[in-house]
């Protein structure tokens, strides 16, 4: 499936132009056949299906399976982490998923742009502050940071999932940005995010 590079091409042509048989190959083929925009991270996932399968199963478990921290907040952690890492693709993709779940796009973007003045509950702001520190200064996390979350009524299982979501997207941000995955249109982000919000990461 070789296609000419375009303005939206990734950095590694061999990766982008050689999807291997599997669910992401099928998704890319269908999108190209219909002329529909698709998330270019699919090219990374299609290049090595075994890696994709492991990543998607991990992502689904961390982000979508039942946990005491909501899927909506986990998605907001993904978007907030991505904003701190200047990963536009992941920020917009997961802001769109979070907006679908919260049913409030303005709230999601206000949290990303100015956490302290947004309308999120103080408890959720505390968790996002913490994941911001995990992203920017993980080596300085100490018992006092966890105690502050306990004081905000978060239990250890919730904190575990928040750390996992944050760590996962610190990986994805680097994986996506260094491979040159570019954003799609806002309409495409919303369309593709709706499926993820409802069905999760598994394919």
Tens digit of each residue's pLDDT, the chain (203 residues): 434 334 479 999 999 999 999 999 999 999 999 999 999 999 999 999 999 999 999 999 999 999 999 999 999 999 999 999 999 999 999 999 999 999 999 999 999 999 999 999 999 999 999 999 999 999 999 999 999 999 999 999 999 999 999 999 999 999 999 999 999 999 999 999 999 999 999 88
pTM of the model: 0.95
Half-sphere exposure of residue 4: CA atoms within 13 angstroms, side-chain side:
2
Q: What are the C-alpha distances in Å from 140 to residues 107, 130, 137? A: 29, 11, 6
Pairwise CA distance, residues 192 & 111, whole Å: 22
How far is the C-alpha of 76 from the C-alpha of 111, rounded, in Å? 8
| Structural class in CATH, domain 68-199 | mainly alpha
**Could you tell me the CA-to-CA distances from 119 to 84, 104, 111, 168 in Å, in that order?**
20, 11, 8, 26
Nearest CA to 60 out of 189, 168, 182 is that of 168
The C-alpha atoms of residue 104 and residue 33 are separated, in whole angstroms, by: 33
Render pLDDT for 73-126 as a digit per residue (tens, 0 to 9): 999 999 999 999 999 999 999 999 999 999 999 999 999 999 999 999 999 999
Domain ranges of the chain: 13-58, 68-199
Q: How far apart are CA 18 and CA 14, in angstroms?
A: 6
């Amino acid at each position: 499936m070789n296609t000419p590079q375009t303005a939206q091409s990734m950095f590694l042509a061999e990766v982008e132009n050689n999807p291997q048989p599997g669910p992401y190959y099928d998704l890319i083929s269908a999108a190209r056949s219909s002329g529909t925009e698709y998330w270019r991270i699919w090219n990374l996932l299609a290049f090595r299906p075994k890696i994709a399968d492991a990543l998607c199963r991990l992502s689904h478990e961390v982000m979508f399976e039942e946990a005491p921290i909501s899927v909506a907040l986990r998605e907001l952690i993904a978007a907030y982490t991505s904003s701190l890492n200047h990963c536009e693709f992941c920020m917009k993709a997961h802001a769109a998923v979070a907006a679908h779940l919260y049913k409030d796009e303005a709230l999601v973007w206000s949290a990303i742009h100015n956490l302290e003045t947004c309308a999120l509950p103080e408890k959720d702001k505390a968790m996002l502050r913490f994941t911001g520190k995990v992203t920017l200064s993980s080596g300085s996390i100490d018992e006092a940071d966890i105690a502050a979350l306990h004081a905000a009524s978060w239990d250890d299982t919730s904190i575990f999932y928040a750390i996992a979501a944050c760590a996962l997207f610190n990986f994805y941000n680097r994986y996506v940005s260094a491979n040159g995955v570019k954003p799609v249109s806002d309409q495409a982000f919303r369309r593709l995010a709706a499926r993820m919000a409802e069905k999760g990461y598994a394919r």
